[in-house]
């Protein structure tokens, strides 16, 4: 017997309901960073994924209208800062448009000058190798040149909220 629960919806019916459904997929949270000619950018992103091991490729999606896009493109590098459980304030900071999201924040320069954040769960420094414009986003592909695993519990994003793993797995 078919119940109301089985009836499929269309994304165009209600975008908020569609987004809420996408939000049932739990992810980690990253801050993607880059720098070019003295301008530093950082964007909170949960669209990060590993694509290939050999060569080591990763990707993420950036809104095509983002004012940060030209810096990511011109830099030719980006760093993936995988946030640890206690870094929700950094997630919020880099998800909020601002002239200088790095104000009063201690960072070090990574490959291509990409800012590296302290206290992360892991970090991947990449060279931008491809981009693919599709829909309202640009998919940026990076080849990983260096990385660190700091063995900290990651911050989780689920149903539109920041959360912690119920049973933290460290290592």
Binding site for ligand FMN (CB under 6 A): 29, 41, 43-47, 60-63, 66-68, 91, 95-97, 157
**Smaller CB distance to ligand FMN: residue 33 or 110?**
33
Q: How far is the CB of 63 from ligand FMN (least distance, A)?
A: 4
Q: How far is the CB of 44 from ligand FMN (least distance, A)?
A: 4
Residue in this structure with the two tokens 């693919």, named with its chain if needed = 132
**Smaller CB distance to ligand FMN: residue 8 or 30?**
30
Helix, strand, or coil here: 32? strand
Q: How far is the CB of 67 from ligand FMN (least distance, A)?
A: 5
**Smaller CB distance to ligand FMN: residue 63 or 145?**
63
**Smaller CB distance to ligand FMN: residue 78 or 157?**
157
Residue in this structure with the two tokens 């920041």, named with its chain if needed = 162
Q: How far is the CB of 25 from ligand FMN (least distance, A)?
A: 12
Q: How far is the CB of 23 from ligand FMN (least distance, A)?
A: 10
Tokens standing for residue 18: 């569609």
Nearest-10 Cα torsion for 87, 91, 96, 100: 60
| 30 CB-near residues (< 8 Å, 6+ apart) | 44, 45, 46, 48, 60, 80, 81, 82, 83
**Smaller CB distance to ligand FMN: residue 2 or 24?**
24
């Amino acid at each position: 017997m078919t119940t109301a629960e089985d009836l499929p919806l269309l994304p165009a019916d209600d975008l908020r309901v569609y987004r809420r459904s996408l939000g049932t997929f739990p992810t980690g949270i990253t801050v993607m960073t880059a720098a070019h000619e003295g301008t530093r950018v950082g964007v909170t992103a949960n669209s990060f994924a590993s694509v290939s091991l050999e060569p080591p490729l990763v990707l993420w999606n950036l809104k095509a209208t983002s004012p940060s896009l030209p810096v990511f493109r011109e830099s030719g590098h980006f760093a993936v800062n995988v946030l640890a459980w206690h870094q929700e304030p950094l997630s919020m900071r880099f998800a909020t448009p601002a002239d200088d999201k790095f104000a009063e924040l201690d960072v070090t320069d990574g490959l291509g000058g990409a800012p590296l954040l302290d206290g992360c769960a892991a970090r991947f420094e990449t060279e931008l190798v491809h981009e693919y414009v599709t829909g309202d986003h640009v998919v940026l592909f990076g080849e990983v040149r260096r990385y660190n695993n700091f063995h900290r519990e990651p911050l989780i994003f689920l149903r539109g909220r920041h959360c912690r793993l119920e049973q933290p797995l460290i290592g």
